C-alpha cells in the first residue's frame, strides 16, 4: 500500500495556502498527501495580545502534539512562529525558499501622518517586536492590539478608527490580499525567519525526510538558522522585541539584528559581513555583541517583567 502523507495545518487561509504549497511540492516528487486541519491555541484566543499570553509555540503546539501522537506525518509552519527549541522528538525536514521578509503598514486614508514626527497616530499590531520598533521611531504614537487571521485583521483595520496596522508582506502576498493602500517599512527589521516556511516531522522518520529533501532551500535554511541562533542566544522567543535578518550576497552573509526595549526607548543594533563558508556562528556572535553593548539589561528587564 502506498503511503499517503498526512500534512497537518492550521485552518486559516494563509496556513492552508502554505500546506497546499507543500502538498504540491510533494506531488511534484511523486508523493500522495492529504491535509489534516488542526486548531491551535493562537487561533482560539483572539483577544489577548500575543506578548501577554507569553506561551512559546502558541501557533505550533497543537500540531506538535498531533505529530507526536502519529495523527499527522508532517506539520507546516510559518517559521517565525516556531520556537527556537523544537519539541523533543520533532525535527526540521525542510525550509522552503523564502518570500518577502518585510513588514507593511496598511493605512486607512493616507500615510501622511508619518511625515509629522511629533504628531499623534494610532497603529495596530499584536507583535511586541513591531510595537517596540514603531515606538522607537514614533514615540508619540499609540499602539492598539490586533489579533486574528489576515482576513479578520484587515477587516478590523477598516472597522476601527486606527490610522493603520502592520502586517507581514509575505502573508498578504501569498493569499493575494496585499492592498494598494500600504507601504513597505524599509527601516523595520523583521522577526527571525519571517517570510520562511518550515516543514517538520518526527525524528528518525526517514521516509518523510527523504520526501522533503528535494524542496529544502539550503540558502534560506542557513539564513534563518543564523537568525534563530541570534534569537536563541539572546534568550528570546516569539514574544520578545528581537529582530534579525541574514541575506546571501555573492558568497557572503550580511547580517543585521537588534533588540529594542518594549517601550521603544532603548535600541541596540549589530551588523556583520561574513564569508559564506565561515558564517555558521554569525547569529551567536552577533547576539553576544548585543549583550555586551547593553542588551543584557533589556533582556533581564523583559524576563523580570514576565515573572
Sign of the Cα torsion 167, 170, 173, 175 reads: negative
124 bridge partner residues: 144, 165
CA 224 to chain centre: 10
Quote the crossing angle between the two packed helices 282-290 and 218-233, to the nearest 10°.
30
Cβ–Cβ under 8 Å, residues 96 and 196: yes
Element holding 150 (H helix, E strand): helix 150-159
Q: Which of 81, 103, 217, 229 is catalytic?
A: 81
List the one residue out of 182, 217, 186 whose CA is nearest residue 111.
182
∠ CA 238-164-182, rounded to 5°: 95
- What's the gap between Cα 259 and its chain centre? 15
Counted residue by residue, the chain has a size of 307
- Catalytic-residue membership of 81: yes
What is the rounded distance in angstroms from the CA atom of residue 155 to the CA atom of residue 93? 35
Q: How many helices (H) and strands (E) does the chain have?
A: 11, 13
Catalytic residue numbers read 81
Amino acid at each position: 500500500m502506498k503511503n499517503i502523507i498526512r500534512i497537518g495545518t492550521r485552518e486559516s487561509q494563509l496556513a492552508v495556502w502554505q500546506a497546499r504549497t507543500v502538498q504540491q511540492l510533494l506531488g511534484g516528487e511523486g508523493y500522495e498527501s492529504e491535509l489534516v486541519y488542526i486548531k491551535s491555541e493562537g487561533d482560539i484566543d483572539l483577544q489577548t495580545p500575543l506578548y501577554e499570553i507569553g506561551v512559546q509555540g502558541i501557533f505550533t503546539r497543537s500540531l506538535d502534539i498531533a505529530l507526536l501522537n502519529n495523527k499527522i506525518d508532517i506539520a507546516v509552519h510559518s517559521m517565525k512562529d516556531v520556537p527556537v527549541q523544537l519539541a523533543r522528538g520533532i525535527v526540521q525536514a525542510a525550509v522552503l525558499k523564502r518570500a518577502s521578509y518585510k513588514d507593511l503598514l496598511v493605512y486607512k486614508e493616507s500615510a501622511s501622518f508619518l511625515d509629522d514626527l511629533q504628531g499623534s497616530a494610532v497603529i495596530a499590531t499584536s507583535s511586541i517586536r513591531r510595537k517596540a520598533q514603531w515606538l522607537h521611531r514614533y514615540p508619540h504614537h499609540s499602539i492598539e492590539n490586533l489579533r486574528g487571521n489576515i482576513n479578520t485583521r484587515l477587516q478590523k483595520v477598516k472597522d476601527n478608527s486606527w490610522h493603520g496596522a502592520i502586517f507581514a508582506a509575505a502573508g498578504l502576498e501569498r493569499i493575494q490580499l496585499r492592498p494598494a493602500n500600504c507601504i513597505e517599512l524599509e527601516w523595520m527589521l523583521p522577526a527571525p525567519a519571517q517570510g520562511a516556511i518550515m516543514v517538520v516531522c518526527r525524528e528518525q522518520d526517514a521516509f518523510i525526510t527523504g520526501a522533503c529533501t528535494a524542496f529544502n532551500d539550503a540558502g534560506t535554511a542557513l539564513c534563518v538558522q543564523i537568525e534563530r541562533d541570534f534569537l536563541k542566544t539572546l534568550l528570546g522567543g516569539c514574544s520578545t522585541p528581537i529582530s534579525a535578518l541574514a541575506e546571501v550576497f555573492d558568497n557572503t552573509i550580511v547580517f543585521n539584528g537588534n533588540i529594542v526595549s518594549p517601550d521603544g526607548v532603548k535600541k541596540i543594533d549589530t551588523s556583520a559581513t561574513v564569508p559564506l563558508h565561515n558564517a555558521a556562528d554569525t547569529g551567536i556572535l552577533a547576539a553576544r555583541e548585543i549583550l555586551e553593548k547593553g542588551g543584557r539589561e533589556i533582556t533581564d528587564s523583559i524576563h523580570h517583567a514576565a515573572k
